Amino acid sequence: MREDLLSRRAIRMKANDIREILKWISQDVISFGGGLPDPSTFPRDEIKEISRDVIEKYGDRALQYSLTEGIVELREELVRFAARDGMSVDGPDSVLVTVGSQEAIELIGRVFIDEGDIVITENPTYLATLQSWSVYGPRIVGIPMDEEGMRTDILEEKLRSIYSGGGKVKLVYTVPTAQNPTGISMSVERRKHLLELASRYDIYIIEDNPYSYYVFEGSAPPHLKALDEEGRVIYLSTASKIFVPGLRVGWVLASGDVVRWLSLAKQAVSLHTSTLSQYLLLEALRRGIIERTVPRVRELYRRKRDAMLSALERHMPSGVQWTKPIGGMFIWVTLPSGIDARSLLKAAIVKYRVAYVPGAAFHVDGTGQNTMRLNFTYPSFEEIEIGVNRLSLAVREALEAGL
Ligand SMILES: Cc1ncc(COP(=O)(O)O)c(C=O)c1O
């Protein structure tokens, strides 16, 4: 094809490493690569029932075009859902229903980011956010993390130096609870510090929250949105991990003016989120299906996390480290420096029949070559045990070869 016809934006598009890796994987490869829920948790019978009921109850309304912002009943239900989670939202005008949170991320890029704008993320961060926003040409500044999440002391220094040089920051993007990819959660203290900095420098915070529903020990830390007194948090969540990802429904909670801008962008991107999907989610919320399913799934994922941690403990050679996430779907492994997880992947798949996502792609600055992300929710208990053993053999081989 005529590549000279491609836009500058298209040239900046990069294939998502995870989707590329998923393509290579054949049946006998154990995959820790994707971020998929365990399909045995899908409430199939309930979905069958509500699908029929939605058509009977709402008829053509469920099959027709609908409002860009989302159907009003669902937005009202999401306001109640947010309140149960400690977030007070003004009303349905502060809610935008999106095609998964992925669309919300893309809309935020469209609405807020110009070429050269400074945007801050955790480093590492969610790969598909980098993929989405890099098209708009921002300068992405990554803030390192430790076991309490984003190092807000380093953020503070960075902000000071950016502003003293005449620059300004538009957005801070964070996945504060059980982060993808590291599994790390931001401490309450850091959350407060982040909000204070955002207030001092007048910055929007994007709180991307697919995972707080799966915190295994104690209760989830408070949402930034729940602590926010100034309306500067744009909160994203999704039905993908608490119901089913195939529905493609997510939502944004933000001030009415932010919702209006995002909704304007959405008109051009997708017109509206699938009406049928929205009614299915509405009924699932109204009938308490999600409230009933989540505790059961949480317990299953806790056991899977423990199985993977225990397998890592028993099989991995010394010098390999990993996070011990309080929730979510991922464990982040750091290999001894000098081992390149991307080079190791081919041998892992071809020779050892196990796959993961190399960590470098989640970094904004080309670092993290010796890191990898492991998903523990999709594989079975048996696959976790066998797969971690296989992965350890691949790592041992790389260590011996001094790769
Ligand atoms: C941090 C984060 N944000 C957003 C998404 C997108 O999810 P969805 O578009 O299915 O709502 C994911 C999915 O894995 C994620 O991990």
Domain definitions of the chain by residue range: 3-43+293-401, 44-290
Q: Which of 123-127, 162-166, 209-213, 216-220 has the lowest mean pLDDT?
A: 216-220
For ligand 1, is residue 124 a contact (CB within 6 Å)? no
Q: How far apart are CA 361 and CA 341, in angstroms?
A: 11
Q: Domain 44-290 classified CATH 3.40.1390.10?
A: no
Concatenated DSSP letters of 337-395: TT--HHHHHHHHHHTT-EE-EEGGGG-SSS--TTEEEEE-SSS-HHHHHHHHHHHHHHH
Domains 3-43+293-401 and 44-290 share a fold: no
Contact between residue 400 and residue 336 where contact means Cβ atoms under 8 Å apart: no
Is the confidence at residue 17, as pLDDT, over 90? no
Burial class (CB in 10 A: 0-12, 13-18, 19+), 84: exposed
Centre of ligand 1 to C-alpha 225, Å, is: 18
Of 219, 226, 240, which is closest to residue 284 (Cα–Cα)?
A: 240
Atom in ligand 1 nearest the alpha carbon of residue 329: 16
**Residue 240 tokens, joined:** 């993908």
Q: How far apart are CA 3 and CA 182, in angstroms?
A: 37
Q: Using 50, 70 and 90 to split pLDDT, how confident is the model at 290?
A: very high
Q: Using 50, 70 and 90 to split pLDDT, how confident is the model at 19?
A: low
For ligand 1, is residue 240 a contact (CB within 6 Å)? yes
Centre of ligand 1 to C-alpha 86, Å, is: 22
Q: ∠ at Cα 366 (364, 367), nearest 5°? A: 100
Q: How far apart are CA 221 and CA 186, in angstroms?
A: 8
Mean pLDDT across the stretch 88-111? 97
| pLDDT at position 403 | 59
| pLDDT at position 31 | 94
Strand order from edge to edge, sheet including 250-253: 95-98, 250-253, 233-238, 204-208, 169-174, 118-123, 139-146, 149-150
| pLDDT at position 311 | 98
Q: Domain 3-43+293-401 classified CATH 3.90.1150.10?
A: yes
**Among all chains, which residue has been given the structure tokens 């109204």?**
286
pTM exceeds 0.85, yes or no: yes
- The number of C-alpha atoms within 13 Å of 247 and in the hemisphere containing its C-beta is 28
Q: Which residues pair with 143 in a beta bridge?
A: 122
Centre of ligand 1 to C-alpha 364, Å, is: 18
More confident site: 21 or 302: 302
Name the residue of 96, 102, 122 whose CB sits within 8 Å of the most ligand 1 atoms, as the mutation to test its pocket.
102
Side chain identity, residue 282: L
Is the confidence at residue 15, as pLDDT, over 90? no
Q: Which of 151-165, 262-276, 340-354, 372-386 has the lowest mean pLDDT?
A: 340-354
Name the residue of 133, 208, 247 whose CB sits within 8 Å of the most ligand 1 atoms, as the mutation to test its pocket.
208
| pLDDT at position 344 | 93
Atom in ligand 1 nearest the alpha carbon of residue 241: 10
Q: Using 50, 70 and 90 to split pLDDT, how confident is the model at 26?
A: confident
Mean pLDDT across the stretch 387-391? 98
Q: Which of 10-24, 53-67, 107-121 has the lowest mean pLDDT?
A: 10-24
Centre of ligand 1 to C-alpha 210, Å, is: 6
Atom in ligand 1 nearest the alpha carbon of residue 126: 1
Give residue-wise pLDDT tens across range 128-163.
Answer: 999 999 999 999 999 999 999 999 999 999 999 999
Mean pLDDT across the stretch 117-137? 96
Centre of ligand 1 to C-alpha 102, Å, is: 6
| pLDDT at position 401 | 85
Report the percentage of the chain scoring pLDDT > 90: 90
